[in-house]
Each structure stands twice: as C-alpha cells, then as structure tokens.
Amino acid sequence: MAQFIHKGEEKKKYVKQMFNDISKTYDLINILSSFGIDRYWRRSLIRHINLSHNSKLLDVATGTGDVAFGFFKKYNCSIVGVDIAKNMIELAKIKANKYNGNIDFFEGDAEKLTFSNDSFDALTISFGFRNLGSYDTALSEFYRVLNQNGKIAILEFSKPKSFWFAPIFNFYFNKVIPLIGSLLSRKDAYLYLPESVDYFLTRQDVCSKLKTAGFKNISYIDYTFGVATLYIGEKSE
C-alpha cells in the first residue's frame, strides 16, 4: 500500500518541500548511497547528446546542477537549469560561481515552462522525471520548447531486470538507503525514493508517452543491471 502520493498537484507540493529540505545533503547522500555510480550514469547521458559550442541546452529538474555543469565543461555552450525547489537552485548557483560563461539557473516548474516555443537544441532531465506531477503535461512542454530536430534525454531509475541482482538491490534500496537517509537527512525522503520507483512507469510506458508527445527515434539503454535507464528521443516532423 502506498505511503506517498504519486501524481498530481499534491505530489508536486510534497516533492518541492522535500527537495527544499534535503538540498544541503543531497549531493553527499547521492555519492555515498550509489558509491559514486550516479556520476557514471550522468556522464553516460552527456555522452549520448551531441552538442556544439553554439547549442542551447535546457536541463529540467536540474537540482544542484551536475548535468548542466557536465555539459558546460564539455561544450562551453549556453545552458539553462530549471528546478521547482528554490534551495536546490541556490546550491546550483553557488556551484556555478566557479564556471565562467553562459550558464543560468532559475526556479521553475517542468510542467509550466516559461520559455518560448522552439528555444532549445536539447533538453535533459536526470532523476527528475519520476518526481513530476503529470508526465504527459511535462512531455508536451518539453516538446514545445525544443527546436526541430532537438534531442530529449531522460535519465531515470528503473526496476532492475537481472534475477540475481534484483533482490540484492531491492534490499539495499528499500532498507539501507532509507537508513543512510534517516541518519543524514529527512527520513521520509529516502522512503519516498524506493516507493516512487515502484510506482514509476515501465520502460515501455515511458517510450510510449514520448511517442504520444510527438517524439521520434525513441530508444532506451539500461545501466547497472537495469537500475537506471536512459531514454533518448527527437523532435522531428
């Protein structure tokens, strides 16, 4: 039985408050709980989106900005990061001080983006999609703000497929991570995490929602026995 709300405005309100509250320990708990593998997943996302110095990238649900900074280091292009949680954005802005260039962070909702149609060459969302109130509303916004031939990349947790790895991972994800979270952060945040993955879409459902939103050339790649999945698509007529 669900302990948390998994769609709609109530979910959005809960998620926003939660990330505001856990912002200070967010990066640390990511590294500790994933043994640094989360960095490899984000690097894989960055490897799959080819940009140039002239490209414009929107990183939605940017959090403390690590995907945005990864792209900036590689391409020195124009980057905007948006997140609904003010405290996450504040940390991204502090981290951005060491970079000199066109990289900006704003508070904003993925489901109501404030950018004009056809504004970006690529849109990324890493471990944020699962947390949205309405996947369909967000995907139609993502499609709207992307240029023709613009690329979308969604990195998200999945249920591991490997029959020997899944039980080990499930124990770690459902028992150990909440324990680490309760010691260092807001306890319910790290109970919400495994439950939100449980209630998240299947790989096929994500692909079919991308298709319904208008995206083409959709594919996905699993990482680390299917713990994380990268979805790629393209806006093309």
Ligand X SMILES: C[S@@+](CC[C@H](N)C(=O)[O-])C[C@H]1O[C@@H](n2cnc3c(N)ncnc32)[C@H](O)[C@@H]1O
229 binds ligand X (CB under 6 A): no
For 13, residues 6+ apart whose C-beta sits below 8 A from its C-beta are none
Query: What would the two tokens of residue 40 be?
Result: 């490899």
66 binds ligand X (CB under 6 A): yes
Are residues 14 and 84 in contact, defined by beta-carbon separation less than 8 angstroms? no
- Provide the angle, in degrees to the nearest 10, between the axes of the packed helices 189-198 and 8-34: 110
- Provide the angle, in degrees to the nearest 10, between the axes of the packed helices 177-184 and 8-34: 100
Shortest distance in whole angstroms from residue 59 CB to ligand X: 7
For residue 97, give the DSSP letter. T
- Give how many residues touch ligand X by CB under 6 A: 23
d(CA 178, CA 104): 33
| Residue found by looking up tokens 């369909």 in the block | 136
15 binds ligand X (CB under 6 A): yes
d(CA 74, CA 47): 10
Query: What would the two tokens of residue 207 be?
Result: 């692909």
Shortest distance in whole angstroms from residue 155 CB to ligand X: 7
Strand partners, 215: 235
126 binds ligand X (CB under 6 A): yes
63 binds ligand X (CB under 6 A): yes
70 binds ligand X (CB under 6 A): no
Q: Interacting stretch for ligand X, rule CB under 6 A, among 62-70, 182-190, 196-204, 221-229?
A: 62-70
Q: Interacting stretch for ligand X, rule CB under 6 A, among 105-113, 181-189, 194-202, 216-224?
A: 105-113
Q: Indicate which single residue of 22, 57, 132, 145 sits in contact with ligand X (rule: CB under 6 A).
A: 132
| Residue found by looking up tokens 């499930």 in the block | 170
19 binds ligand X (CB under 6 A): yes
Q: Which is nearer to ligand X, 60 or 152 (CB)?
A: 60
Q: Indicate which single residue of 57, 83, 152, 153 sits in contact with ligand X (rule: CB under 6 A).
A: 83
Shortest distance in whole angstroms from residue 164 CB to ligand X: 27
d(CA 148, CA 118): 7
103 binds ligand X (CB under 6 A): no
Shortest distance in whole angstroms from residue 237 CB to ligand X: 27
173 binds ligand X (CB under 6 A): no
For residue 114, give the DSSP letter. -
d(CA 62, CA 81): 5
| Residue found by looking up tokens 């010691």 in the block | 183
127 binds ligand X (CB under 6 A): yes
Q: Which is nearer to ligand X, 46 or 51 (CB)?
A: 46
Residue ranges binding ligand X (CB under 6 A): 12, 15, 19, 42, 60-63, 66-67, 82-85, 88, 109-111, 126-128, 131-132
